[in-house]
């Protein structure tokens, strides 16, 4: 059987197209293989181990990292519990305790934890002496009679600008207020 020149020409064109398609497929495969080798090199970090060995090693490392993260979470919880009892709220009120004294040298300062427990310290400055009083505070109140200034110091310490509920979004300084308060007799 003899083929006509038209059939031979058509088969030749078809063979050329199949060859070009094969060349394109080969180039795409080589490019894919290059990308796979680059990914493998990054994954293996230069090691010549097989994929299963590398996967096993990575799984072991991830498990170790998970244990480390769990341990750090437990440690963070322990620190949070410790911090609940630490002084994290401070409020100060300065005032003139006596009408004949100026300079606002008397003060009341509340040192409280995040639950509002702690102490309020007052220093009453007179002409010849200074008296210091400390009263325990529980949940923002005291079983002892509090002066107006001591109550104000506790209120400042518990004000919304202070850290609450163990939630510290950023490091905070312990603020103190230095504002004018009306002169009052200390109790």
Percent with pLDDT over 90 in the chain: 52
**Residue for token digits 């991830």?**
62
Q: What is the pLDDT of residues 31-75, one digit of tens each?
A: 999 998 888 777 777 777 787 888 888 899 999 999 999 999 999
Whether residue 74 is found in the same domain as residue 100: no
pLDDT confidence of residue 164: 42
Q: Is the pLDDT of residue 184 over 90?
A: no
Whether residue 65 is found in the same domain as residue 39: yes
Q: How many residues does the chain have?
A: 187
For residues 60 and 53, give the distance between their C-alpha atoms in angstroms, rounded to a whole number.
11
> Between 30 and 103, where is the model more confident?
30
Q: Is the pLDDT of residue 163 over 70?
A: no
- In sequence order, the β-bridge partners of residue 90 are 111
Whether residue 77 is found in the same domain as residue 98: no
Whether residue 94 is found in the same domain as residue 184: yes
pLDDT confidence of residue 53: 85
157 burial level (CB within 10 Å; 0-12, 13-18, 19+): buried
Last-in-domain residue among 30, 64, 82: 82
> Between 113 and 3, where is the model more confident?
113
Whether residue 99 is found in the same domain as residue 187: yes
Q: What is the pLDDT of residues 89-119, one digit of tens each?
A: 999 999 988 877 778 889 999 999 988 999 9
Among residues 174, 157, 165, 175, the alpha carbon closest in space to that of 83 is found at: 165
Whether residue 66 is found in the same domain as residue 113: no
| Total structural domains within the chain | 2
Q: Is the pLDDT of residue 149 over 90?
A: yes
Whether residue 110 is found in the same domain as residue 92: yes
Q: How many CA atoms lie within 13 A of 32 on its CB side?
A: 6
Q: Is the pLDDT of residue 162 over 60?
A: no
Whether residue 73 is found in the same domain as residue 105: no
**Cα dihedral 51/55/57/59 (nearest 10):** 180
Q: Which residues of 3-26 are buried (b: 16+ CB within 10 A; e: fewer)?
A: eeeeeeeeeeeeeeeeeeeeeeee
pLDDT confidence of residue 47: 77
Last-in-domain residue among 49, 82, 115: 82
Mean pLDDT of the chain: 83
Among residues 97, 121, 88, 115, the alpha carbon closest in space to that of 182 is found at: 97
> Between 103 and 132, where is the model more confident?
132
Whether residue 98 is found in the same domain as residue 62: no
Whether residue 78 is found in the same domain as residue 94: no
> Between 139 and 171, where is the model more confident?
139
168 band by pLDDT with thresholds 50, 70 and 90? very low
103-107, 109-113, 135-139, 160-164: lowest mean pLDDT where? 160-164
Joined tokens for residue 100: 């004949």
Whether residue 108 is found in the same domain as residue 68: no
Q: Is the pLDDT of residue 170 over 80?
A: no
Whether residue 65 is found in the same domain as residue 96: no
Q: How many CA atoms lie within 13 A of 35 on its CB side?
A: 6
Range of the domain at 170: 87-187
For residues 119 and 124, give the distance between their C-alpha atoms in angstroms, rounded to a whole number.
16
Last-in-domain residue among 82, 102, 127: 82
């Amino acid at each position: 059987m003899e083929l006509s020149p038209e059939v031979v020409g058509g088969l030749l064109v078809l063979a050329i197209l199949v060859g070009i398609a094969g060349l394109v497929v080969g180039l795409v495969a080589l490019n894919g293989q290059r990308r796979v080798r680059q990914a493998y090199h990054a994954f293996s970090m230069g090691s010549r181990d097989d994929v299963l060995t590398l996967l096993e090693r990575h799984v072991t490392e991830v498990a170790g990292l998970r244990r480390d993260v769990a341990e750090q979470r437990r440690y963070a919880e322990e620190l949070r519990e410790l911090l609940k009892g630490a002084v994290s709220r401070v409020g100060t009120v300065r005032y003139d305790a006596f009408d004949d004294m100026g300079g606002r040298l008397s003060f009341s300062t509340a040192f409280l934890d995040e639950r509002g427990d702690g102490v309020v310290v007052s220093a009453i400055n007179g002409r010849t002496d200074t008296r210091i009083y400390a009263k325990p505070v529980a949940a923002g109140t005291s079983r002892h009679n509090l002066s107006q200034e001591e109550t104000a110091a506790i209120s400042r310490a518990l004000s919304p600008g202070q850290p609450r509920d163990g939630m510290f979004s950023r490091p905070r300084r312990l603020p103190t207020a230095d504002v004018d308060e009306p002169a009052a007799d200390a109790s």
